[in-house]
A and B are shown apart, each in its own frame.
Chain A
Amino acid sequence: MSEQKPQTVPTTGHVWDGDLQEYNNPLPVWWVYTFYATVIFALVYWTIYPSWPFGKGWIGGVSKISYVNSEGEAKTHSWNTRALLLADMNKAAIAQKPYFDKVEAMSYEEIAKDPEMSGFVISAGKTLFADNCAPCHQAGGQGMIGFFPDLTDDDWLYGGSYEKIHETLMGGRRGYMPAFSEVLVGTEIDQLANFVASLSGIGHDTAKAAAGKVLFHGDAAGCHACHGSDARGRQDMGTPNLTDNIWLWANVPAADTDEGKVAAIRGVIASGLNRGVMPAWSGRLLPEQIKVLTVYVHELGGGQ
């Protein structure tokens, strides 16, 4: 170890409490040059990117962002994150264009049959479905009894053809059934519930079901007007088929006993429905995205 040298560093000249002094060591050279470098970096940055406010605007910087938009026009904006997004979106759009052009040009059936296109539609559709549809219809499209219809079965309220699925996606849907407690008495509703149960082969009271059948076709209740005289539903009105033992509103599968199942049906008849709202997607998704989703939903298993 070297001997301690006598102190030659100057002090700042401050003296506290009579004897406390402060050395005035020079800053390390590397530190000083790094500091100068940051100043130069700032000057360069100000020139390239939008930086200083100036009057009622700001200095845009020399850096530009150019891209070709969907109409094929070349666009240039000074650098900012919104322009960056547009460049990013348009670059992706150009890469996807051959596929989306095909989606637009091909019929639903052709897309479903073409292995390359159906692969594209199913992978693109899966993402769209997860973002937009899964919160209600659930990740696999299985729906939820009491709330949202199953998209994977053969039962369709509004129709399961490509055209009908597309129509549903574009414009949305709204379910409605009057509350029959307002026009029928409790025993009549019970009779109707037994009749509806009988249609799906659920254990029921035969006498009540027979009376319910008369009510179903009669004018007081008028069930047949919407559900059809065969009770198979009318897709133009979105009324469900009551004969297929597939349930959306009445939670029949959850009931353990026949009495419970009939009670679930009775509940829906009595209180009616002002639910089953599906939002319209025409304003939120692009036409080609809706077409992709149409094919995706059709291919979930129940398409007709």
Chain B
Amino acid sequence: MKPINSKSGMAIVLVMTLTMGLLILGSSYLKSISQRSNHNTIELGSIQADLLAEGITQIAMLKLKELPGPLYYAALCKAKGNGNGPLDTYSGDAVLNGAIKNEFSAKYSTTFTMLPSKLYEDMNAKITVVLNLSRPDGRDYERQIERTVSGERKLSGK
């Protein structure tokens, strides 16, 4: 009978180890590819949140342009401690505080605040839009846009 040598079959053991190492490398490579694909979704969600928040800000700026007087007195009423009602009405429009259900879902809110300024002459208003967007893959994005609008108050016929 032929004696069994302790070194026989070492080549196969070495190759199996090498193969296992290559397979581990391959699986980690696959994992990195799948993570990179998710990163693309992040970019799209981020861009969508930016664009939508910018759009809502435009609508808020349009309201301020169309109706500056009611905001001025509503903010003054609140600042003097006489009540929040008129300012809440001004900020509470459905078009500025709502939700969108598209291929993503988004909720947004808008607030108007008056900044300290030279009474009767200046009118500096700050518009703040906060938007929360959720992508179908479960990722969430939050955006806050603040825009300050400076104006000069003039009486008609002056």
Real binding pair: no
> B residues touching A (Cβ–Cβ < 8 Å)?
none
